Structure 1
Amino acid sequence: MSYIVVCPLENIADVAEQHQCKRMISLMSPGHELERPAQISPECHLHVGMNDINFDTAGLISPDEAHVASVIEFAQNWDQKNPLLIHCWFGVSRSPAAALLSSMAVKPEQNDHELANRLREASPSATPNRRIIEIGDKLLDRGGKLSQAVNSIGRGREASQGNPFILPLD
């Protein structure tokens, strides 16, 4: 069974080892350096530099079409032999949004609402970044269905940090 595993930054080494991940997407603030787990080679690591915001703010980098397109393209090139690891600082907003888009990129026949409900079941605290979702909805030609699905699950429960979770592709 193919799946995506999502976690906060502090768990990437343990999660990568436990799930035998070979590919990783990092969604971190611009300029933030991190130590990549040893089993993930540089060419199998996408580092996307953006802040976790939903609107343009002076001094910060908001998610844009190029950021989201790079996530989608990276996911589409994933062979699904090993789980895809996606993380951000806390594992609550940017990485769950990227997990939804990655899942939809590799399995576009999925029902948007069922996918969003699987996310909520896997992570009660996930609150996908709305701007990332809206841009991805457009790039994946979902016609607003993915955005509506994410809106329907609402904000996740309050958490200072998310717990690692698995988002199955099926």
Structure 2
Amino acid sequence: MSAIVVAPLARIAEMAVRHRSREMISLIAKEQAFHRPAVISAERHLLLGMNDITFAGTGGLVAPQEAHVQAIIDFAITWDRSAPLLIHCWMGVSRSPAAALIAALAVYPEEDDVLLVRRLRSASPHATPNARLIQIGDQMLGRDGRLMEAIRAIGRGADADGNAPFVLTLDEPVS
């Protein structure tokens, strides 16, 4: 079974070891420093500098861009799926769940958006995927608004303490 592990920054080493992840996507502000877990090779670590905002032009903050989403898609397509892909942001609530959905649909384009998003909500009552990443991903993956609509249908997640990693399975359909 293919899976994507979504985690807050504070738990990436633990999650990488627990799930035997060897590949990782980091979505964090440019100035944030952190150490890549030793089990993740530098060649299979995608680092994307962006802030958790939904529109461009917010002071010195970096909004998610098409180039970021294209990098997620390209990285996901080359993920060998023999071990879970680890995706993280600062809290594991907004940017990384959005990136997980984009990666899942890049790898399995036949996946039903509604079922995938319901699986996300079932795995994490706290996830509130970044709307800008979702909008760009929806367009770039040719989802014709289905991904955005599925996200709107589940609504905002519950308040989170930023310490709740989760696993998004990709091979098991939701009933």
Which TM-score band (shorter chain)? over 0.9
Give aligned-pair identity as a percent: 56
Q: Distance in 1 between matches of 2:65 and 2:13?
A: 28
| Structure 2: gaps spanning 5 or more residues | none
| Equivalent residue, structure 2, for 1:99 | 100
Q: Distance in 2 between matches of 1:41 and 1:159?
A: 30
Shift of 1:162: 4.4
| Equivalent residue, structure 2, for 1:59 | 60
Superposition pairs of residues 72-91 of structure 1, within 5 angstroms = 72-91=73-92
Where 1:37 maps in the other structure, the secondary structure is coil
What root-mean-square deviation, in Å, do the aligned CA atoms of Structure 1 and Structure 2 show?
A: 0.7
Superposition pairs of residues 1-170 of structure 1, within 5 angstroms = 1-56=1-56, 57-170=58-171
Q: Distance in 2 between matches of 1:27 and 1:3?
A: 18
TM-score for the superposition, normalised by structure 2: 0.95
Where 1:161 maps in the other structure, the secondary structure is coil
Whether the 8 Å CA contact 1:8–1:87 is kept in 2: the answer is yes
Whether the 8 Å CA contact 1:92–1:162 is kept in 2: the answer is no
Q: 2:162 is matched by which residue type in structure 1?
A: Q
Q: Distance in 2 between matches of 1:47 and 1:31?
A: 12
Deviations 1:6-65 (A, max 9, x none): 000000001000000000000000132210010111000000000000012121100010
Q: 2:45 is matched by which residue type in structure 1?
A: H
Whether the 8 Å CA contact 2:11–2:163 is kept in 1: the answer is no
Deviating runs (4+, > 2 A) in structure 1?
none
Q: 1:45 is matched by which residue type in structure 2?
A: H
User: How many residues are paired up?
Assistant: 170
| Structure 1: gaps spanning 5 or more residues | none
Deviations 1:97-147 (A, max 9, x none): 000001111001010000000000000000000000000001101011001
TM-score for the superposition, normalised by structure 1: 0.98
Q: Distance in 1 between matches of 2:60 and 2:4?
A: 32
Q: Distance in 2 between matches of 1:52 and 1:88?
A: 9
The structure-2 alpha-carbon separation of the partners of 1:112 and 1:8, relative to structure 1 and needing over 3 Å to count, comes to same
